[in-house]
Amino acid sequence: MDQNKQSILKEFEQINKELSSSGIAQDPEKLKNLSQRRSELEEIVSLIQEIEKTKEIIKGNEDLIENLKYDDEKEDQELEKIAQMEIEEAQKHLKKLNKKYDLLTVPKDPLDKRDVILEIRAGAGGDEAGLFAWDLFRMYSRYCENKGFRFSIINSNKNEVGGLKEMIVQIEGQEVFGDLKYESGVHRVQRIPETEKSGRIHTSTATVAVIPKALERDIEIKNEEIKIDTFRSSGPGGQSVNTTDSAIRITHLPSGLVVSCQDEKSQHKNKAKALSVLRSRLLQHQREQEQKKVADLRSSQIGTGDRSEKIRTYNFPQDRITDHRTKTSWHGIERILDGALGEIIESIKKQDLKLKMEKNKI
């Protein structure tokens, strides 16, 4: 057994010991973390045990053949033939087991478990871009509903025709960032706008940013580093929708980042949400700076953070969605925009995993 497998078995054994200790219930956070890690390792440990058992079957049959090698009796020849068949079957099974083990042990992004801040903004294309941004918001909200993720609005800014200038939401659930992180980038739509009398196909864009939600311990924000302004919440066209100054705008002076939140009636709640978004943006910026230091990042994985990268085109006349990173297309735009995004996300995950495995020469 190689050292990596031994290390996994040792860790699993240690976790079981700690979970069975009498004092573990007094530390809920540690109990939660150990239980999650045990759950992650269970399938891998079971796989290791099956790999070792299969190796023993191969070794046992090889030893049997070696002992029968110089015996010419017909019965022994038949036994040797059966042993050889068992070896071949076991080797095929071992190959599948090893491939599954390699897939399960590809290094994972530690932030995959995090909740996310999802930001959608209208890009080029005027009112049509805003309407497309709304379509994307609806797609993600329905996808999250189907997945059982919790979806809450932090800040929204609509235009006069019912589209979005900006929408910022928080999404909570199991491994949300790992599920949605590949959605960051520029989304392009090609369709005939409802307001277009001549029937010309119009191209417009919207940008999506999927940011792992930062914890307070990740990023420290000092009071002297931020400027807080209050104002009244406004709706489409700028009209006031609140009689109190409950909306919050926070400016992070060192970076120049500005975050607004106006969807809660409570100024305190808006401030807490705005700080959460600011902290998450700062963490994402830090993450992007670290990634830029890795020279082969773009050649070894699918991008998950560059907002300027055109990732997908939604072509309505041809009823086709094309992801430009995997060079794959799907039909049924209305169905996908209604939340059936899973097949696209899974396709991109598989492609990224393949690239990582190639990089690690698995």
Please provide the DSSP assignment of 174-238 as one string: TTHHHHHGGG-EEEEEEE--TT-TT---EEEEEEEEEEEPPPTTT----GGGEEEEEE--B-GGG
pLDDT for residue 195: 65
Per-residue pLDDT for 267 more than 80? yes
> To 10 degrees, the CA torsion angle through 254, 216, 155, 172?
140
**Residue 233: partners with Cβ closer than 8 Å, 6 or more residues away:** 240, 241, 242, 246, 247, 262, 263
Structure tokens at 141: 């909200």
- Locate 78 and state its tokens: 């038949």
Is residue 35 scored above 50 in pLDDT?
yes
Contact 185, 311 (CB under 8 A): yes
DSSP state for residue 72 in the 8-state scheme: -
Tell me the percentage of the chain whose pLDDT exceeds 70: 88
* Mean pLDDT to the nearest integer, 127-150: 95
pLDDT of residue 78: 83
Q: What is the pLDDT of residue 217?
A: 87
As a whole number, mean pLDDT of residues 117-125 equals 94
Residues 239-260 have pLDDT tens digits of 444 545 788 999 999 999 999 8
Token pair of 44, please? 């891998």
Q: What one-letter code names the amino acid at 153?
A: I
Q: Which fold has domain 110-296+304-355?
A: Alpha-Beta Plaits (3.30.70)
For residue 335, the Cα-to-chain-centroid distance in whole angstroms is: 22
* pLDDT recorded at residue 67: 83
What pLDDT does 168 receive?
94
Spatial CB neighbours of 7, under 8 Å, sequence gap ≥ 6: none
**CB 83, CB 65: distance < 8 Å:** yes
Residue 165, pLDDT score: 93
Using CA atoms, how far apart are residues 217 and 166, in angstroms rounded to an integer?
Answer: 28
What per-residue confidence (pLDDT) applies to 296? Answer: 47
Give the whole-angstrom CA distance, residue 284 versus residue 286: 5
Predicted confidence (pLDDT) at residue 237 exceeds the cutoff of 50: no
- Determine the length of the chain: 362
CA atoms of 123 and 207, how far apart (whole Å)? 6
Least Cα distance to 123 among 310, 277, 291 occurs for 310
Within a 13 Å sphere around the CA of 119, how many CA atoms are in the beta-carbon half?
Answer: 20
- pLDDT of 161: 81
Residue linked to tokens 């040797």? 80
Looking at residue 122, its pLDDT comes to 94
Secondary structure (3-state) at 342: helix
State the pLDDT at residue 72: 61
Predicted pLDDT of residue 309? 79
Which of 113, 297, 353, 356 lies closest to 212 in space, CA to CA?
113
Q: What is the pLDDT of residues 153-198, one digit of tens each?
A: 998 888 888 899 999 999 999 889 999 999 999 999 999 987 676 6
Helix (H) or strand (E) holding 260: strand 258-261
Measured distance CA(320)–CA(30) in Å, rounded: 47
Architecture of the domain delimited by 3-104: Up-down Bundle (1.20)
Domain spans, the chain:
3-104, 110-296+304-355
Output the average pLDDT for the chain: 87
State pLDDT tens for residues 323-343. 999 999 999 999 999 999 999
Rounded to 5°, the CA angle 205-209-210 comes to: 140
> Residue 131: pLDDT band by 50, 70, 90 thresholds?
very high
How far apart are alpha carbons 163 and 126 in whole angstroms? 10
Residue from 144, 131, 146 nearest 187 by CA: 131
Q: What is the pLDDT of residues 282-311, one digit of tens each?
A: 998 888 877 766 544 444 446 554 556 799
CB 246 within 8 A of CB 221: no
pLDDT for residue 90 is more than 60: yes
More confident residue, 76 or 256: 256
pLDDT at 203 over 70: yes
